[in-house]
Chain A
Amino acid sequence: MSEPAPLDLAYTTDPCVICQPIGAVYAGLGFHRCLSLVHGSQGCVAYLRSQLIRTYREEVLTVSSSLNEESAVYGGEERLVEAIKNAVSLYEPAMLTVFSTCLSETIGDDLQGIVRKLTAETDLGIPVVAVPTPSYKQEHIFGFEAALSGIIEYFFKHQKDASHNGKLDDQLTIVPGYANPGDVREMKRLASQFSKIITFADLSETLLSPRMGGSFYPEGGTTIDDINRSFNSRKFLCCQHFTSKKIHATLQALKLDAERAHLPVGIRLTDRFVHLLSKIAGAAVPQALLTERRECVDAIKAAKQYVFGRNVAIFENPDVALGMASACVELGMNPVIVATNRKETRFRETLAELMKTRQPNILEDTNHFEYRKAIDLYIKEHSPIDLLVGNTRSKYIENALNIPLVRVGFPQSDRVGVHRGLITGYRGMMRLADEIGNVLIQKNDKYVDAVI
């Protein structure tokens, strides 16, 4: 065993990534009466359910194949088949999504093979989509992408023969991607002002709608009919540039007209998003939305008075980080550190284009420990940092350095209302301007009027 060089860290401290199955299960939650089954140790399901419930404050239904020592030695096929049959019989889902784990993948279970064999022998009466999601390969957001891509491939592959025959429906299918339900709802609202839309996967309905007296599944969500109909959509719009890459590629591989937009955070990226929607629909931006934009401009002006020139450090996934950096620049702030949890081609360039003169220190595919080091260094060598933007895990830095944290992304298990919490669209920017403004006003809040 040779020892690595001191700077070549062998380990990860305070990560900003979780495992693939949690993202995959989150994707499954966006479909109507969809149940997810995670093929692995039952701890995987217990942990990911707790994590999702803590943030979204809704029931999260997921089952496990509960692998044990015997399965680890002899393989988990038997228990997986039993789990599928039991889940289908007991919970009567409209669709079953099956995901693998580190355990089942290391055992060597061929998830898709097992499901294929079972569905060839037994008519389960519902679609069963199997997607491998070992955590040692990718992180949670990729799990989300893999699950959606798996569902797209499952339903669209056999439609290929039907072909479009040049007949395309009027509708637009939007793919909001890995976003909080409040933002999914906002992107839906924006898009539906221009086109008839299908939302894929509609997390806003399943995680935001109030549960009605004891029904097992939540109301709403993307239905199988929606999925099948969406095949004839005029266009597929992926609302996240970096974290929907795989979904976009899957759609393109199926020869569908798919386009990627940036997550509409801040006024400029929302403008681009709205512009794109307007071009797709061939319709002008409705007056109501223009009024909303005007309101947003006013909110920015009001906040800018108090936040201009302040330093901000941002840590989230590439799409949220880019959007938040853009929003902060619009508020006149200086993003001095922008950190992301995965490395993406052209992230740096895209960010550089959005920044004005000053360029932030960019950390890609990093963790909270490295992020903290960068913050400490900046404070030591330059000037104080006034604001942190990131998920709940940034709170250790918030507490240690006494810098306020505006929470965005996932998880946000230490605050209520996260599922409604909004960063996208003009409304999201209004909320951000208000919150960031107020958080920074509070630091100097000694007067009756916030005149400072």
Chain B
Amino acid sequence: MDHEQDTFCEKEPIAKDRIKQKVLKRRDEHSIVKIPGEPRTPKETVPSIPGVMTSRGCAFAGARGVVFGPITDVANIVHGPIGCSYYTWDQRRNLGTDSHFLKLCFSTDLKEKDIIFGGEKKLFSTIVQVAEKFHPAAVAVYATCPVGLIGDDIDAVCKKAQEKIGIPVIPVHSEGFRGVNQSDGHKIACDTIAKYITGTVEPDSITDYDVNIVGEYNIGGEGWEFKRLFKKLGLRVYAVWTGDSKYRELASCHRVKLNLIHCQRSITSLAEDMMANYGIPIMNISMFGIEQSMDSLRRIAAFFGLEERAEQLIKEEFDGIRSELEQYRSIFKGKRIVMYIGGARSWHFIKMFADLGLEVVSTGSEFGHGDDYEKMWLRAKDGTKFIDDMNHYELHEIVSKYKPDIVASGIKEMFTARSRGVPYLNIHSYTGAGPFIGFRGLMNLAKEIEKAMSIEDPAINVPVWDTEGTK
């Protein structure tokens, strides 16, 4: 390693101020304040500025981590060097009834010679050996950054392996550099599922009351709460995409009566594909918070002619939490929250927090598209700030400027808030809490908010001699 230190020739000093102003100006277009009557959205879905501390991940994270990750009986083989596989190994919280495959990590562990000579042989052997040893329902193979460059034909390898082992082998072209963030990975996963999985198996039985929940990853057991509520409503959840799901459910779910889309960012294109190919109607729903839950349940019930049962269900569930809710509302009244999260939850959660008496003063999304920001606009109060791809510096600024009572975001923002004495709520993976959907879910969330706020305790943070003074 030979770095030349200061040489004698004249060097241009770096124009820090000019560069900083340029970056800030570029970032300016990514944040707006809601002014009534002026519907606008911030600039979104453009590449992050290099060297600016973004929280965004890569396409691989979107495909392997988010969409495929929660399926419980598929062996996920990451074709690439070891890191990518390690980071997606049981890291994103997805609860599973049978979590055997969620806790296994398969990697072709590419080395330098594979990068030079190609990794196809290694991949083929891996697929065959994993299938023989672990008996998954299917195998999914993910391409990582180098694979896209060294020219491995993973489609051909998967096809050949499938012929040999007799179970589906699905190639996912999820090279991390594709697109601008995780969202492109979601799209890649959806296209792959549409091409290789949907409709490949016919269901054993189907009823007139079967639905799919599309875009629910069971982070805190939300899929299970859906099933509980819908059973009471008289509906059968045929498949959950993809929280705690089985390959067979996903492959045979194309005969249901209705697709309910919960996460309307990551997986909408898949539902659209099922509508085009199998004529399954789509309904966008949100089960976060009371208002949105009631509205969604009523719309679903109207579709199936189950209005009475829906009213009964809503009454039962609401009665169950009413007194607790009042208590929490009085605690949280007027508390201000800054929120920054992946995609759809950036607007789903606005009304949910409002149900608890909290006010969202700023919200933003790592990978939201125009339609996400439009939905944010419809739900947020006037004066709310929307920030796209918020970076560390901007979070710091917003915490200083808005002095929120709570920051709700992911793990990377956790200590940015905590080190500044601001309560933090994990709304990415819920730090062991959840489910947050429906009526009971709202109470789970309320408990988490109460906990988050109590963590910043002045009685502990400040020494006695400072609080009691000369008393």
CA distance A20 to B81 in the complex (A): 10
Residues of chain A lying within 8 A (CB to CB) of residue B122: 10-11
Contacts A121-B11, A123-B13; is A396 near B103 (CB within 8 Å)? yes
**Minimum CB distance partner of B150 in chain A:** A106
Residues of chain A lying within 8 A (CB to CB) of residue B313: none
Q: From residue B175, how far is it (CB to closest CB) to chain A in Å?
A: 8
* B52-60, B243-251, B333-341 - the one binding chain A: B52-60
**Minimum CB distance partner of A41 in chain B:** B176
Question: Do residues A136 and B115 form an inter-chain contact, with CB atoms below 8 A?
Answer: yes
* A58-66, A180-188, A299-307 - the one binding chain B: A58-66
Contacts A46-B58, A90-B23; is A11 near B53 (CB within 8 Å)? no
Residues of chain B lying within 8 A (CB to CB) of residue A3: 125, 128
CA distance A44 to B107 in the complex (A): 16
Cβ of B105 within 8 Å of any chain A Cβ, yes or no, is yes
Question: Do residues A57 and B415 form an inter-chain contact, with CB atoms below 8 A?
Answer: yes
Cβ of B43 within 8 Å of any chain A Cβ, yes or no, is no
CA distance A129 to B19 in the complex (A): 21
Question: Do residues B5 and A10 form an inter-chain contact, with CB atoms below 8 A?
Answer: no
Question: Do residues B177 and A69 form an inter-chain contact, with CB atoms below 8 A?
Answer: yes
Residues of chain B lying within 8 A (CB to CB) of residue A61: 53, 392
Cβ of A54 within 8 Å of any chain B Cβ, yes or no, is yes
Cβ of A107 within 8 Å of any chain B Cβ, yes or no, is yes
Q: B115-157 vs A: 1/0 string, CB under 8 Å?
A: 1000011101110111000000000000011101110000000
Residues of chain A lying within 8 A (CB to CB) of residue B58: 41-44, 46
Q: A124-137 vs B: 1/0 string, CB under 8 Å?
A: 11001111001111
Question: Do residues A50 and B396 form an inter-chain contact, with CB atoms below 8 A?
Answer: no
Residues of chain A lying within 8 A (CB to CB) of residue B396: 214, 216
Contacts A90-B52, A106-B150; is A136 near B114 (CB within 8 Å)? yes
CB within 8 Å of A: which B1-23 residues:
1-5, 7, 9, 11-17, 19-20, 23
Residues of chain B lying within 8 A (CB to CB) of residue A139: 82
Number of interface residues of A (CB under 8 A): 94
Question: Do residues A63 and B120 form an inter-chain contact, with CB atoms below 8 A?
Answer: no
- Sort chain B's interface into a size bin: 35 or more
Cβ of A434 within 8 Å of any chain B Cβ, yes or no, is no
Question: Do residues B14 and A83 form an inter-chain contact, with CB atoms below 8 A?
Answer: no
Cβ of B178 within 8 Å of any chain A Cβ, yes or no, is yes
Question: Do residues B48 and A59 form an inter-chain contact, with CB atoms below 8 A?
Answer: no
Q: From residue A1, how far is it (CB to closest CB) to chain B in Å?
A: 5
Q: B66-104 vs A: 1/0 string, CB under 8 Å?
A: 000000000001001111111101010000000000011
Question: Do residues B82 and A122 form an inter-chain contact, with CB atoms below 8 A?
Answer: no
Question: Do residues B145 and A101 form an inter-chain contact, with CB atoms below 8 A?
Answer: yes
CA distance A59 to B115 in the complex (A): 34
Q: From residue B15, how far is it (CB to closest CB) to chain A in Å?
A: 8
Contacts A3-B125, A106-B149; is A37 near B12 (CB within 8 Å)? no
* B30-38, B224-232, B416-424, B436-444 - the one binding chain A: B416-424
Question: Do residues B421 and A68 form an inter-chain contact, with CB atoms below 8 A?
Answer: no
Question: Do residues B411 and A50 form an inter-chain contact, with CB atoms below 8 A?
Answer: yes
Residues of chain B lying within 8 A (CB to CB) of residue A123: 11-14
> Of the candidates A48, A66, A214, which one forms a contact with B400 in the assembled complex, judged by CB atoms under 8 Å apart?
A214
Q: From residue B74, how far is it (CB to closest CB) to chain A in Å?
A: 15
Question: Do residues A86 and B51 form an inter-chain contact, with CB atoms below 8 A?
Answer: yes
Cβ of B61 within 8 Å of any chain A Cβ, yes or no, is yes
Which 7 pairs across A and B sit closest by C-beta, in order of nearness? A43-B58, A19-B83, A83-B51, A86-B51, A83-B50, A10-B125, A211-B419
